[in-house]
Amino acid sequence: MDLHTVASGYSPKRAFNLTHAEVPASAVLCGKLIAVVWLFTGQLVYPRAEPVSFAGGTLGWVHGQLFLQLALLAQLLAILTILCSAFFRVGCALLALIILSLSALDQALFSNNRAFCAAVLLMLALDPRGSLARAQVSLVYACAATDKLLTAAWRSGQFVRTFNAELCRVGELWSPGWSPGGGLPLACALARAMADNASLAMLASALVIATELTIALGYATRARFTAALAPVFHALLLTLTGSTFGVFFYAGAACSVLVLDLERQAAPFDRAMPYVVIAAALAGPWLRPWFGLVFSALVLGLALHLRRAPRARAQVTG
């Protein structure tokens, strides 16, 4: 493959194009959404002021200007390749490896949500059908639910009760639109209710665990309800906590499209444009906890619309 062939594989027109010779549209859209939110939420910025210790030594070059510029350029190239080229799987692999490499060089950059993004991108690169990516996401939710089931504080509802009380006292956790100490009405309402009724905390705990298990099962079986349940679950967490938990809110919503057959959806939701616009709108510094409620309503309305659209087409055809 010569340089001209590589260059001709890039085009701005591909940004909203989900057609790929090997990869289904749902997997292409998932990768594009993760790339978009990685860019818009500033995840590719590598702020490091001091040398990094690695394997007992100090890597002074890791925080040098040249390294920072190369890390930024490499991520931009990977995002460009995912969004605007015919080499979608190469771009996914490149961005995943960059995320993992930076996390290995600097433990301060490691987080579960960044590792989740890297794992999903890597699965998209390895398996053109998207099956490995769905399995990876299913495993994450299943493990999260299992961990809660094995934790006494979760089973008893103590964690949920204490967590809501602290949220009410402290206010918003970090998000792109973080306002320090911003009020969290939902958390405060739940904290007051749980203080008076201990069984409510246990019920809330059971609901969270059941939801995560249901989402895990939905990804494993490619059940369409997962496309609505997963984003709504993360949107309600945003409303409750005021936090996107790094990029997990965005990645969790992006992965939900993996269960859809986008080619069969009604226009314009068979294309990337509406999904990318929504992702970009939620990734800015204007994000507030109440956006979660708006996003939940939008997702549920969209799910209802897409459920009715095939029936309408079938009646017209008949």
**51, pLDDT greater than 60:** no
Instruction: Give Cβ neighbours of residue 253 (< 8 Å, ≥ 6 apart).
Output: 33, 230, 231, 234, 235, 279
**5, pLDDT greater than 90:** no
Instruction: Give Cβ neighbours of residue 314 (< 8 Å, ≥ 6 apart).
Output: none
Name residue, tokens 């591909």: 14
**CA pair distance 297, 265, nearest whole angstrom:** 19
**61, pLDDT greater than 80:** no
The reported pLDDT for the residue numbered 251 is 94
Task: Band the pLDDT of 315: cuts 50, 70, 90.
Answer: very low
Q: Provide the β-strand partners of residue 10.
A: 85
pLDDT digit string, tens, across residues 133-168: 999 999 999 999 999 999 999 999 999 999 999 999
Instruction: Please choose, from the candidates 298, 259, 201, 193, the residue with its C-alpha nearest in 3D space to the C-alpha of residue 29.
Output: 259
**Sequence letter at residue 176:** P
**CA pair distance 141, 35, nearest whole angstrom:** 21
pLDDT digit string, tens, across residues 165-198: 999 998 887 766 666 667 899 999 999 999 988 8
The reported pLDDT for the residue numbered 16 is 86
For 91, 108, 146, 296, 316, the CA distances from 275, given in Å and listed in that order, are 20, 31, 31, 14, 27
The reported pLDDT for the residue numbered 256 is 95
